[in-house]
Structure 1
Amino acid sequence: MTDPIILGLLSIALIFILMGLGIPVFASLGITGIIGIILVQDFTYVYNVLSTFAFDETAAYLLTVIPLFIIMGNFALHAGVGKSLFHVARHWCGHLPGGLAISTILTCAGFSATSGSSVATAATVGSISLPEMKNAGYDRRLSAGCVAAGGVLGVLIPPSVLLVFYAALTEVSAGKMLIAGIVPGLLSVLVFVLGVFLVSLRHPDMCPPAERAGWRPRLKSLVHAWKLMFLIIVVLGSIYTGWATPTEAASLGAVASILFLLGSRQSLKNKLDSIGHSSRDAVNTTVMIMMTMLGAGIYSFFLSLIQVPQMMSSLVSDLPLPALLIIALILVIYIPMGMFLDAFSMLVITLPIVFPVVSELGYDPIWFGILAIKMCEIGLITPPIGLNVYVIAGIDRDTTLTEVFSGASWFILMELVTIVILFCLPALSTWLPYNM
């Protein structure tokens, strides 16, 4: 059986069968790719390809950004940046309708600018804000939902590991992808804040009003935000001005974060434990990402060998449909996939097939990348596999998984609103990176 389309469809089925058997995503992709190459060529060809494949795929200077951003976020977490941000946001927004929920969203956005991981953002901010909202009498569904949804901002707001991952898979500039996440990230925050505000106005019993802080405490609280502002200036400022490459900027951010940790009011033992834990987590996450890239690379090589991407590009470009509708249909595919797969897996499975189609249709890869990552965000809070939801359910034992999913459903609608705006206004994603 040598028909490329049939082989491609069978390979996709095999990937899901292997994952259903509990085999990790990277292994499912790699095994499927190897079997496919053997069917098309032979064992000798596979051996010749794989002998240098791992080195060729992962020995890239750009990929050093990934562990640096991860360790920067971990150091910032242990330095207490998240707790400081919530303190600032509560003083400025706590008196508004849904003020603590809005403060939670803003804290998630701020911490995302130091982390790059949605799970780390949700876990960090959730452990701080959930007890506060519970003591204030907030509805458990809204409280848990806003933390789970706020965590997904870590996927988009730079320094996002997923933005770098997309850049590595598509050979788009990592610096431009990171800068491209700024405006869509701020738009996502704005939509979330407005959404919480409207929900609070419609259901005031879910969000009891809090006391307004005076101007003196508000201004005084801003002192706690200096670490965040410093990291943003060091990392994003140096990339945007061209003073540093993304890798150099990530290195500067990691150094600044560890200095914050060493300067924090902790015992020397706790500081050393935090450094060790942060380093181990960075190694584990980096290895997971690299292995996923390696498995995806083998599978992508198989698809290229049987020319599936090229055939899909020709087929789709000849369809009697508007090009924008084709892009919209491609994006819709991410919704059911997000119910069962993590964001990295979705990108490595789909991009080898859909990215050539996007290029063939002449659309900007940065614009499509932002939209694809926004679609991946939704998967983090949709049942049954919404990872952020499970994290929040683990933090707050009094709130059931069903209640967290129920609270997150409001934010899924808000995410769709943001995606429609970004889809209709591509300049929101492309103007800033192209004016670096």
Structure 2
Amino acid sequence: MDPSFAPYIAVALIILLMAFGAPVFAALALSGAVGIVLVEDFAFLMTRLKSISYSTTAVYTLTIIPLFILMGSFAHHAQVGKKLFDVASRWVGHLPGGLAMAAILTSAGFAATSGSSVATAATVGSVAIPEMKKAGYQGSLSAGAVAAGGVLGVLIPPSVLLIFYAALTETSAGKMLVAGFLPGLLTAIMFMVGIYFIARRGDMRHAVTPRASWGEAVRETGKAWQVMVLFIVVMGGIYLGLVTPTEAGAVGAFVALIMLLMHRPSWPGMLGRIVASFRSTIDTTVMILFTMIGAAVFSYFLTLIQVPNQLAEAVVGSGLPPYLIVAMLLLVFVPLGMFLDAFSMMVITIPIMFPTIQSLGFDPIWFGILAVKMCEIGLITPPVGLNCYVIAGIDRETPLPQIFRGALWFVLLEVITIMILFAFPIITTILPNWMG
């Protein structure tokens, strides 16, 4: 078959398989396999499949993923999220929309102990939403704020998605993690400013908690020492060069386990909590690795017919301004985010886009942060916005459409934040560059 027709057949097959409910990894793998057979033959496919799964997953960098997930799971069972929300509400609960702001701060803090967006949304939602409802918050604002706050879990280090991007592009995992800190902080600030104005124009200006004294707020802050310890152990060790990212993940998971064992309220059923942590880590890690294998088969097919190289040559030779090209590439994530999860978007787009970014001479770390930010939008937009479904499972009184409606405000704030990071790359690159 003419190789020029094979991509269209493969893409059509992906859409057909997903329409019938096939998992993303299976749709990618089967479509890539069919494409390879069309271009070469079945024997060639079998030869390549013998090595693709191993070469894709037997990557040292990927060992960080289960370690970060396990660390976050231990922190969750140690009730770190509840302590963080108590601290944040003492500081900002008296402001208009203060408890929603506290949910954002809690999400940012918990994200520093967990690399998962879904885990962050679920942990903070179970703590913050009941308190906001008790204070009289609208369901759309409370649920939307927690769903949006959850996206910080894929940006503020340690982030599994940043590690995933580093593995796909062979970029420094340590520098990718460090690069996510300032953009994550900027995102949290933008969300809090947005909540303030949303609350001022709505009915939330009076739904505030009593103002805590400075002494009480400072004393309460000391109860959330676990987050600071984990952040210093993991990111401090990486930034100072004392440990590699993988070693930092192992040390962080061990420290989080010690914190769980020291948490007296968790002693009843401790073994069950530890087993649940390992089980959730295994489930999430296997899902990620299967997605990588399926995408690797499809990416190999695209490489076989030289789609990434042809795209890079066409883009570079188009005469368009380089920054306009990057903006157009980022916009591709918008429709994909309506139907795919963040990992699936990454494995489909990055192998195709990255050669173009390299040929244009852009910093891969800067582009990686922008790509992750675009994936964040997909986590809170219909119809697949995973964080909104997680919150719907926690807050059964608020209909899913209302949760999506509340999250749309934060989509706008995400767009503004991305524009700032796009216009000022130094926000992303300054910390990695200081690492040398």
Question: Does TM, scored on the shorter chain, surpass 0.5?
Answer: yes
Q: Give the 3-state SS of the residue equivalent to 2:269 in structure 1.
A: helix
CA contact (8 A) 1:200 1:207 kept: no
Name the SS for the 2:264 alignment partner: coil
Deviates more, 1:44-53 or 1:347-356: 44-53
Is the 8 Å Cα contact of residues 97 and 209 (structure 1) preserved in structure 2? yes
- Cα deviation for residue 101 of structure 1 reads 0.8
TM-score by length of 1: 0.98
Asked if the contact 1:114–1:159 (Cα under 8 Å) also holds between the matched residues in 2, the reply is yes
The CA deviation at 1:267 is 5.4
Identity, % of aligned positions: 56
Q: Please give the alpha-carbon distance, in whole angstroms, between the structure 2 residues aligned to 1:412 and 1:265.
A: 40
Which is further off, 195-204 or 426-435? 195-204
Find the counterpart in structure 1 of residue 27 from structure 2. 28
After superposition, give the CA deviation of every residue in 1:147-168 in whole Å (9 maximum; x if it has no partner): 0100111011111100000111
* CA offset digits 1:137-156 (Å, max 9, x no partner): 11111111100100111011
Task: Check conservation: 1:122, 1:150, Cα contact below 8 A.
Answer: yes
**CA positional deviation for 1:207:** 5.3
Amino acid at match of 1:253: G
- Supply the AA of the counterpart residue of 1:404: I
Which amino acid in the other structure matches residue 103 of structure 1?
A
Q: Output the amino acid matched with 1:114.
A: T
1:275-319 deviations in Å (ceiling 9; x for gaps): 000000101111111111111111111111111111111111111
**What is the Cα deviation at residue 206 of structure 1?**
5.8
Distance 1:65 1:30 in 2: 24
Q: Secondary structure at the match of 1:398?
A: coil
- Equivalence for 1:428: 427
* Counterpart for residue 306 of structure 1: 305
- Relative to structure 1, the CA distance from residue 205 to residue 243 in structure 2 (aligned partners, 3 Å threshold; closer, same or farther) is closer
After the TM superposition, which residues 4-403 of structure 1 pair with which residues of structure 2 at under 5 Å, given as runs?
4=4, 6-205=5-204, 208-266=207-265, 268-403=267-402
Where does structure 1 differ by over 6 angstroms across 4 or more consecutive aligned residues?
none
| C-alpha distance after superposition, 1:174-232 (max 9, x if no partner) | 11111110010000001001111111222244652321111221111011121000000
* Paired letter, 1:3: P
CA separation in 2, counterparts of 1:405 and 1:165?
27
Alpha-carbon displacement from aligned partner over 1:389-408 (angstroms, at most 9, x marks no partner) = 11111111111111111111
- For 1:301, the aligned partner's letter is Y
- Counterpart amino acid of residue 180 in structure 2: G
**Higher alpha-carbon deviation: 334-343 or 210-219:** 210-219
- In structure 2, the CA distance between the partners of 1:341 and 1:38, relative to structure 1 (3 Å rule), is same
Distance 2:206 2:17 in 1: 45
1:210 and 1:223 map into 2 onto residues whose CA distance is 20
- TM-superposed CA distance for 1:34, in Å, is 1.2
Partners of 1:38 and 1:370 in 2: how far apart? Answer: 36
Aligned length: 435
CA distance in 1, matches of 2:309, 2:404: 39
Per mean C-alpha deviation after superposition, the further-off stretch among 361-370 and 198-207 is 198-207
Which range moves more in the overlay, 362-371 or 198-207?
A: 198-207
**Whole-Å Cα distance in 2 between the matches of residues 214 and 312 of structure 1?**
59
Deviation at 1:10, TM superposition (A): 2.6
Contact 1:109 1:150 in 2 (8 A): yes
Equivalent pair of 2:312/2:356 in contact (CA under 8 Å):
yes
Q: Which deviates more, 158-167 or 12-21?
A: 12-21
Encode CA deviations 1:323-364: one digit per residue, 9 max, x unaligned: 111111111111111111100011111112111111111111
CA 1:360–1:54: 2 relative to 1, 3 Å: same
Deviations 1:107-137 (A, max 9, x none): 0000011111111111111111111111111
Separation in 2, partners of 1:224, 1:336: 43
In 2, distance between residues paired with 1:349 and 1:334?
10
> Is the CA contact 2:260–2:266 (under 8 Å) kept in the aligned structure 1?
no
Give me the CA root mean square deviation.
1.2
Deviations 1:367-408 (A, max 9, x none): 111001100000111011111111111111111111111111
Residue 8 (structure 1) shift: 2.0
Give distance in 1, aligned partners of 2:383 and 2:266.
41
How many angstroms apart in 1 are the aligned matches of 2:83 and 2:156? 19
Specify the code of the residue in structure 1 equivalent to 2:234: V
1:2 corresponding residue in structure 2? 2
Q: How many Å separate the matches in 1 of 2:63 and 2:208?
A: 46
One-letter amino acid matched to 1:2: D
Deviates more, 1:345-354 or 1:414-423: 345-354
Q: In structure 1, what is the Cα distance between the partners aligned to 2:136 and 2:267?
A: 38
The aligned amino acid for 2:150 is: G
Q: For structure 2, list consecutive stretches of 5 or more residues without a partner in the other structure.
A: none
Q: Is the 8 A contact 2:70 2:253 kept in 1?
A: yes
Secondary structure at 2:29 match in 1: helix
Larger mean Cα displacement after TM superposition, 338-347 or 353-362: 353-362
Structure 1 residue matching 2:367: 3-state secondary structure: helix
Distance 1:268 1:398 in 2: 32
Q: Contact 2:97/2:204 (CA < 8 Å) preserved in 1?
A: no
Structure 1 CA distance for aligned equivalents of residues 397 and 341 of structure 2: 26
